[in-house]
Each structure stands twice: as structure tokens, then as C-alpha cells.
Structure 1
Amino acid sequence: MKIKRSERLIDMTHYLSEHPRELVSLTFFAERYASAKSSISEDLVIVKETFENRGIGTLQTVPGAAGGVRFIPGVRKDQAEEALSVLSEQVSRSDRLLPGGYLFMTDILGDIHLMNHVGKLFAGAFANEQIDLVMTVATKGIGIAHAAARYLGVPVVVARRDSKVTEGSTVSINYVSGSSKRIQTMVLSKRSVKQGARVLIVDDFMKAGGTAAGMKNLLEEFSATVAGVGIFIESEQEAGEERLVEDYISLLKLRSVDEKGKTIQIETGNYFDRVSSFLKQ
């Protein structure tokens, strides 16, 4: 049954947003709505303009018999600035301070609205990269990985500290923690990553980068390619401190923690330095 154009536009928009980066043919939409391809093409022009004007993303057109359209989530610069401001305000709250200068982050990592901000920001940062899956290490990076994967339309794989029987055969490596200089183990199921996959690594916090470097080394065992590294919060680099990972995008930077004064100084990470060239104004 043929439906009204307004209904068609709403359903089409919903479908595309639920299937980011997936190539959808005009034939699929034409059959779904019992409409001519010319009408579908006109509708897609409207959807594309709306997505771009509202800072939701864009539609890529792929020509040819096997072509169609692909929704690429994105974010405008002003939206990114607002999202980073909200995240910074939340992280810098004084009641997050724990003994030893640690920060309580569980509530942020479990807040779906804040994680939506994180997912959109990483989707915008890596919009031009071919990514097959998102990888993190248990446990605090899992929420961030799922947020990014949601907008990139790819699966999530989680490296663990020890092997589980439910993982089947695994690959494990030893790596040196960048901050504590301790030898640690990282394990990943052999079924998790296909050979040659392009992987986005994400993590909640980076000091010297030992964990991210460990994930990169682990992916080498799968002949996979690191498509990028996304960090929620990086610490201020101390004098003489060597970063084990240099090419990464961070959303926030932890400048300092004052336990006596109960203050946490947070600023924007290197996000705009790395991605401003393709963020829409």
C-alpha cells in the first residue's frame, strides 16, 4: 500500500539513522514505500539537506546499479563545542575526587545521554575513516566503545585481562603499563577480529598510553589495521614523560587535581586540532 510522503520521509529518516554507514539501495526504498525511484530520489535530497542543516550528518550517494545512499553521522563545530562543554562540566565536579587523586567516573560512563555525546563526537572525528569494528579493554571503556560503535554502525570487541572459557580460543600478549611500568596481560578471542580488519581503538583514560599501545600490539597478531585511537580523557603530559601512543584524538584533558582544594581542572583535548578541518560550522 502506497503511503503519504510525510510518512515516507519520517520512516526513511528513521531507517537511515538506525543503519549508519550501511549502503541502502533506491530499489529497497521504492519497494518499501511502493513509490517510484524518482520520488525516492527527491525525498532523499530533502533528508540530506535536513541532516546537514541540523548537524546530524550527511548522505553519501553511491552511483551505479549496485549503488544507493549511505548515512554518515556527523556533528557541527558548535554542537561539538557544546557537547565537550557539558562533558567537561560533569567531569570537573569536585565531588568526583577520590582518595589518591582518582576520579569517580562510573556514573558518567553509565549515563546514556552523556555517552551519546561521546558517540557523536567520535563518529564526527572518524567520519572519513573506513572502520570495521571498535575495540576497547575491559571494563570502563566498554560504554564508550558501544557509544562510538552505535554511530559508526559497527560491532564492538573487548580485550580482557584474563581468558574466559566462553571466549573459545584466544590470543594473549604481555605489555608494559605506561604509567606503572608493570607487566600486564591482554587477551582477545580469535573469533573477535577478522584478518585485515580496520579497527578503531577507544579507551576512557590515557596517561602514558600503555593500554592503547597494548591494544595496537594485540591487533598486530590478527594482521588488523588501527584506523584510529579515540580517548575520552587524557592526562597532562609531565615533563620527560614519553607517550607510547602519539596519533590519537582526545575529547578532554585532565590538567590537574588538587585534593586539598577539591578542584579538578579539565579542558578540551586535542579534538579540534585533529578534526576541525572537516567539521561543519
Structure 2
Amino acid sequence: MKRSERLVGMTYYLLEHPQQLVSLPFFTEAYDAAKSSVSEDLGIINQMFQKQGIGELHTVSGAAGGVKFIPFNSQENSEHFADLLAKQLEDPERLLPGGYLFMSDLLGDPETIRNIGRLFATHFSKQHVDVIMTVATKGIPLAYAVASFLNVPVVIVRRDPKVTEGSTVSINYVSGSSRKIQTMVLPKRSLQKGANVLIIDDFMKAGGTIDGMKSLLKEFEANVAGIGVLAEAEDEDEERVVQDYVSLLQINNVDIKEKKIEVHRGTMFHS
């Protein structure tokens, strides 16, 4: 096999297996190459990953060692993407009653969702995350996008139990938008005691839904490893009940009458 072919094969494998430790013997056997050649190839791949601002290879020494691909977005790439996304959301045609924005088209676009997932994975890469949690339904594509880069499973909180999920744990919480008592449920076998959970959601105002998920995690004796929201908007009529979170975008000065919206980078970019 030519070196160029081997480089393509190794790069593809690493991109498809993020956060997974891969031993050098695995590559030497797969591509019938000397250990020294594989090591040189990995150096080239690592250099290009970092040059492109998409990730880096971490080397683990020892008998059980190898390399691990850690995806990330460079600050420059992240800011550029956030600004493009903000510009898209400032379209007045997206305005919905109550100050909400129509975002379903963005949440349904594979490239956009993948980029958002990479940004959140970059921010939380140093946290020990065992599982991603979100609430049905719009948060689901976001959660899986983040999970694909952190290489962890996803659990989905629902408003009502499903027969196919077995026995469940349920809690009541106060919805920030409607100020009504609502219910959320999660199957008992979804989480292990002591699991470190990253909460991901698409939109937050007062934070009632996210606060409900935090309460649900207490029932499982699980830990909140972090909270990430795609977009946050201030609710002048209600105090925010969640403080420890990061947002990709902040929606400000929503004027329904004048059909004007201002969208800026979120707390993720605040030093």
C-alpha cells in the first residue's frame, strides 16, 4: 500500500472513531506497515488536523497505549460559524408569537447540526461526560450531534411514558414559558447511579425545562457535567432559574411589532 493510501485510510478511521484509543499495532496490521512508518503517518495527520483547526491526536504511552483523536473547533472557526448562524436567525420571517424563533430548518440541516455538535463537544471536551441528556423533540438532533464527537450515548427525556421503555421515573416541574406544572419521565434503566450527564437543549428562556432535567438527575443520583443550549433569550417577566450553562447564541431585542431581531454570540465566547 502506498503511503498516500495509508494516510487516507488512517485519517478516515480516526475521524470515524473520535475519543477512542487506537493501538499502533492495529494500524500496522491493518495497513501492513512498520511501526515507525505508522508513527510518522500519525505525526503528519496530527499536524494537518491542528492546522485545519478540527482536532488533534493525543498519544498514550505504555503497553496499552496508542492514539486518540480529540475533535475540536478552533476559536476562529467557532466564531465564524456562530456569526453566520446568528445572521440566519436575524431574518424577521423567523419571528413567532411569544418572541420565539423558527429554527426547525436549521435543526434539520445535517451540516449545521454537525457544526453545532462540534462546538459543544469542543467546549465540554475536558469534562468527564458519560452520557448526553435532552428533552424530546427538538433537542434530539443536537444531542446526537454532540454525542457523535464525544463518543457517548444519548438519553431522551419525554413528556409521557412509552410502553416500549419499561418502568420510568417521573417528576413534575414548572414550565418557564407557560408557567404550568408539567411532567417529564425517563426510563429507570437509562442512567447509572453516579453518571456524569451533559444536558443539551435547543432553546432556553427562564430555564424551567432544564431545571426539571436537573431535578430528574437527582432522582437517579446522577451528576450534571454541564449544560449547553443552542440559543437563549431573556424573559423580562420571569427570573431565570438556571445559571450554570453555556449558550452558542443570545437572542436580544426581539421587536415583534417592528419585526426586528438581534442575535449575538452566546456565553460560550465570553472570556
TM range (shorter): over 0.9
Question: Which residue of 235, 238, 263 corresponds with 2:236?
Answer: 238
Aligned to 1:189: 187
User: Is the partner of 2:221 in helix, strand or coil?
Assistant: coil
What's the CA shift for 1:256?
2.2
Question: Which residue of 215, 218, 221 corresponds with 1:220?
Answer: 218
Question: Which residue of 241, 246, 259 corresponds with 1:262?
Answer: 259
* 1: CA distance, partners of 2:160 / 2:144: 21
Question: Which residue of 114, 128, 131 corresponds with 2:129?
Answer: 131
User: Is the partner of 1:23 in helix, strand or coil?
Assistant: coil
1:74-223 pair list within 5 angstroms: 74-223=72-221
* 2: CA distance, partners of 1:38 / 1:19: 22
Deviates more, 1:88-97 or 1:218-227: 218-227
Structure 1 residue 50 corresponds to structure 2 residue 73: no
User: Is the partner of 1:139 in helix, strand or coil?
Assistant: coil
Aligned to 1:38: 36
Percent identity, aligned pairs only? 59
TM-score, normalisation: structure 2: 0.95
User: Is the partner of 2:143 in helix, strand or coil?
Assistant: helix
What's the CA shift for 1:101?
3.2
What's the CA shift for 1:177?
2.0
Extract unaligned runs of 5+ from structure 2: none
Aligned to 1:248: 245
What's the CA shift for 1:218?
1.0
* 2: CA distance, partners of 1:86 / 1:44: 33
User: Which digits, 9 at most, give the CA deviation of each residue in 1:171-196, with x for residues without a partner?
Assistant: 11111223433211111112222222
| 2:139–2:200 contact (8 Å) kept in structure 1 | yes
User: Is the partner of 2:209 in helix, strand or coil?
Assistant: helix
* 1: CA distance, partners of 2:235 / 2:48: 41
Q: What root-mean-square deviation, in Å, do the aligned CA atoms of Structure 1 and Structure 2 show?
A: 1.5
* 1: CA distance, partners of 2:3 / 2:193: 44
User: Is the partner of 2:101 in helix, strand or coil?
Assistant: coil
Q: Structure 1 residues 215 and 99 mapped into 2: Cα distance closer, same or farther (>3 Å)?
A: closer
* 2: CA distance, partners of 1:256 / 1:116: 28
Question: Which residue of 58, 62, 65 corresponds with 1:64?
Answer: 62
* 1: CA distance, partners of 2:230 / 2:99: 18
* 2: CA distance, partners of 1:191 / 1:9: 41
TM-score, normalisation: structure 1: 0.92
- The residue identity in structure 1 corresponding to 2:203 is F
Aligned to 1:279: none
| 2:174–2:181 contact (8 Å) kept in structure 1 | yes
- The residue identity in structure 1 corresponding to 2:155 is V
Question: Which residue of 246, 268, 271 corresponds with 1:271?
Answer: 268
What's the CA shift for 1:13?
0.7
User: Is the partner of 1:6 in helix, strand or coil?
Assistant: helix
User: Is the partner of 2:100 in helix, strand or coil?
Assistant: coil
Extract unaligned runs of 5+ from structure 1: 275-281
* 2: CA distance, partners of 1:238 / 1:64: 56
User: Is the partner of 1:129 in helix, strand or coil?
Assistant: coil
- The residue identity in structure 2 corresponding to 1:258 is D
What's the CA shift for 1:237?
5.5
User: Which digits, 9 at most, give the CA deviation of each residue in 1:121-152, with x for residues without a partner?
Assistant: 10111111121221100011111111111211
| 2:206–2:234 contact (8 Å) kept in structure 1 | no
Aligned to 2:26: 28
